C-alpha cells in the first residue's frame, strides 16, 4: 500500500506499507489500508475534528490507531509502515516508523543519510508504542522511502542490493527530476536481480522545491513500484 494524500491546512501526507505474506489476504489488507488512509473517506484515520475544523492526526497517533484496529490475532498478518506529514508553512516533515526501513534524506550538497526512527510492525503487539520524529527540509532537500524488497533484492550470486548501494544510487540521480530519478532507482534494483526481485519493491519520495512561505507551495512527491 502506498499513497500521497492532501491534508487539511495545506499539508501533504505520504505513506508506504508492506504487508507480510503474499496472495489474496495480503492484497485485501493493502486495499483496506489504501481505503482507510484516504482523506476523502468519511471517518478517515488521517483527519480528526480539532474543534476549529478538521486537523491532521499525528503520525504516531495514526500508527497506534492502526495497531489497535489490525491485531495479528485477528488478521493473521502484520504490516510495516512509514507515514509522514509535510507542513509547507514550517518546512518540516513529521513521521513515524513502524517496523519499516527508516527514510533516507538527501540534503543539498550532502550525501544521503538514514534518519532515525523505530517501532514495532503494526499488529504485532497490542501494547506497542510509537513516537513521532521530525526533520526540517530546506529547499532542494529530498526524502526517500522504500520497502525492504529493494535492499534485499538478490543478484545471481546471492548478494543483496543493500542499503549502501541504494544510497549510492540516490546520490547518483540527485540532479535529475524526482520522478525520473525514482524510475532509475527502480531500474537499478530490477537489473541487480535480473529483472525479478524476490519481494515487492516500492519507492516513494518527496522534494521541497521552493522557499516560498505558505501551505501547498513547496513540495513535489513522486512514487514508483
Q: Across residues 107-112, what is the average pLDDT?
A: 94
For range 67-83, the mean pLDDT:
91
Q: Is the pLDDT of residue 90 over 60?
A: yes
Torsion on CA atoms 108, 114, 119, 124, rounded to nearest 10? 110
Residue 76 is given by DSSP the state S
Calculate the average pLDDT of the chain.
Answer: 88
Range with the lowest mean pLDDT among 89-93, 105-109, 151-155, 220-224? 220-224
More confident residue, 78 or 54: 78
Q: What is the mean pLDDT of residues 12-24?
A: 89
Percent of the chain residues past pLDDT 90, beyond the cut = 62
- Beta strands 54-56 and 92-98, pairing class: unpaired
Low-confidence winner among 6-20, 140-154, 172-186 (lowest mean pLDDT): 6-20
Residue 44 has pLDDT above 80, yes or no: no
pLDDT value for 211: 56
CB neighbours of 202 closer than 8 A, spacing ≥ 6?
Answer: 2, 16, 18, 146, 147, 149, 150, 223, 224, 225
DSSP 124: S
The CA distances from residue 91 to 25, 87, 109, 137, 139, in Å, are 38, 6, 18, 6, 9
Q: What dihedral angle (degrees, nearest 10) is formed by the CA atoms of 100, 102, 65, 12?
A: -120
Contacts of 84 (CB under 8 A, 6+ apart): 13, 14, 15, 59, 93, 94, 95, 96, 103, 143
pLDDT of residue 220: 66
Residue 53 pLDDT greater than 80, yes or no: no
Average pLDDT over residues 144-161: 94
Amino acid at each position: 500500500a502506498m499513497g500521497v494524500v492532501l491534508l487539511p491546512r495545506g499539508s501533504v501526507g505520504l505513506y508506504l506499507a508492506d504487508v507480510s505474506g503474499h496472495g489474496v489476504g495480503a492484497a485485501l489488507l493493502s486495499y483496506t489500508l489504501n481505503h482507510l488512509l484516504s482523506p476523502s473517506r468519511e471517518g478517515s484515520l488521517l483527519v480528526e475534528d480539532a474543534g476549529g475544523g478538521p486537523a491532521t492526526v499525528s503520525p504516531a497517533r495514526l500508527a497506534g490507531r492502526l495497531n489497535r484496529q489490525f491485531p495479528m490475532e485477528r488478521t493473521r498478518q502484520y504490516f510495516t509502515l512509514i507515514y509522514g506529514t509535510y507542513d509547507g508553512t514550517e518546512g518540516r516533515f513529521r513521521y513515524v516508523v513502524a517496523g519499516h526501513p527508516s527514510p533516507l534524506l538527501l540534503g543539498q550538497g550532502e550525501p544521503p543519510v538514514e534518519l532515525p526512527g523505530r517501532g514495532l510492525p503494526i499488529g504485532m503487539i497490542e501494547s506497542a508504542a510509537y513516537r513521532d520524529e521530525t526533520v526540517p527540509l530546506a529547499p532542494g532537500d529530498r526524502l526517500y522511502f522504500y520497502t525492504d524488497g529493494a535492499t534485499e533484492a538478490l543478484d545471481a550470486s546471492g548478494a543483496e542490493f543493500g542499503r549502501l548501494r541504494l544510497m549510492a544510487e540516490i546520490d547518483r540521480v540527485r540532479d535529475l527530476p524526482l520522478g525520473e530519478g525514482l524510475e532509475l532507482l527502480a531500474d537499478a534494483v530490477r537489473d541487480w536481480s535480473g529483472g525479478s526481485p524476490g519481494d515487492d519493491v516500492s519507492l516513494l519520495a518527496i522534494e521541497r522545491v521552493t522557499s516560498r512561505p505558505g501551505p501547498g507551495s513547496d513540495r513535489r512527491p513522486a512514487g514508483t513500484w
